[in-house]
Amino acid sequence: MRNIKLQNSILPMIVYVLLILGAILMAIPYVWMFVTSVKPIEEIQSYPPSFLVKNPTLLAYRELFRLIPMLRYIWNSVFVAGTVTIANLFFCSLAGFVFAKHRFLGRDKIFLILLGSLMIPWQVNLISGFMLMKKLGWLNSYNALIVPVMAGVFGVFLCRQFIMSISDDLLDAAKIDGCGVFTIYRLIILPLIKPVLATLAIFTFLQQWNNFIWPLIVISSSDMRTLPLALSVLNGQFGTKFAMVMAGAVVTTTPMLIVFLVFQKYFIKGIALTGIKG
């Protein structure tokens, strides 16, 4: 009995130690990136390298916003990622509600076809997507960045799995009270699926914030660049200014960390409930 108790106390301790070590290993690159961004060039080039900063400076950040239109790039990324996230929350939850609670001809077959499309590599759609944007006259515009990704199959699947766990009796009671389909969706479904909406919001926002290939294909002018494109150009034009490049990386990654930390509780809850109730 004593050995069992000892094992039960040691095992969680080992798990926690491993998790802490993993967290430290993942945090080291970001800490190094931030430290380098506030170092003068002499300390960056010193050997051996050190995490300590003797003479911190914000010169790299001042140069970053002075030499390139960084505020414009930040606005582009915030606008595109924010709009796409809001659109996905609406369309994916609405489609998930339809697939989960409404019966119509071919519902299950259509849903299986949608799930099957997840197996198609996204790179396959690049050429056809570019040609479609060109024919519509949307190249080098917000339309090309936003409209093709306003809804995703993964989001529909996530919402459907969660909504299926909602009791049909609750919806029937709302219908008896005279609620229409959209009223039921707005007043009953949306408040009940907040955890999964938070999960979908984080996934979508981070994916669009980091999106590089698609904006690279459809955007040609400087004022329409998003932050990943700006960071690539920054690394090419000012590659020798290490502190400035690292400052750009800090500016690019900080919003993602903030979004995840703010919605972390809902993210974990949404993943857990979707897995259990699906």
Token pair belonging to 33: 């990136």
Fold that domain 68-277 belongs to in CATH:
MetI-like fold (1.10.3720)
Rounded to 10°, the helix 153-163/194-209 angle is: 170
Looking at residue 177, what is its pLDDT?
A: 84
pLDDT in tens, 2-49: 555 555 667 778 888 888 888 888 888 888 888 888 888 887 777 787
pLDDT bin (cut points 50, 70, 90) of residue 267 is: low
Lowest mean pLDDT among 18-22, 230-234, 245-249, 268-272: 268-272
* Percent of the chain scoring above 90 in pLDDT: 27
Looking at residue 77, what is its pLDDT?
A: 93
Please name the amino acid found at residue 143. Answer: N
Residue with tokens 């995703």: 152
Burial of 93 per CB tally in 10 Å (0-12, 13-18, 19+)? buried
Which DSSP symbol is given to 187? I
Rounded to 10°, the helix 242-277/227-237 angle is: 150
Whether 58 shows a pLDDT value over 50: the answer reads yes
pLDDT bin (cut points 50, 70, 90) of residue 131 is: very high
Compute the distance between CA of residue 244 and CA of residue 246 in angstroms, rounded to an integer. Answer: 5
Cis peptide before 48 (omega within 30 of 0): yes
pLDDT in tens, 177-212: 888 888 989 888 988 888 888 889 888 998 999 899
Which DSSP symbol is given to 66? H
Distances (CA, A) of 186 to 97, 99, 178, 194, 240: 11, 16, 14, 12, 53
Going from N- to C-terminal start, the domains of the chain cover 1-57, 68-277
Compute the distance between CA of residue 202 and CA of residue 179 in angstroms, rounded to an integer. Answer: 31
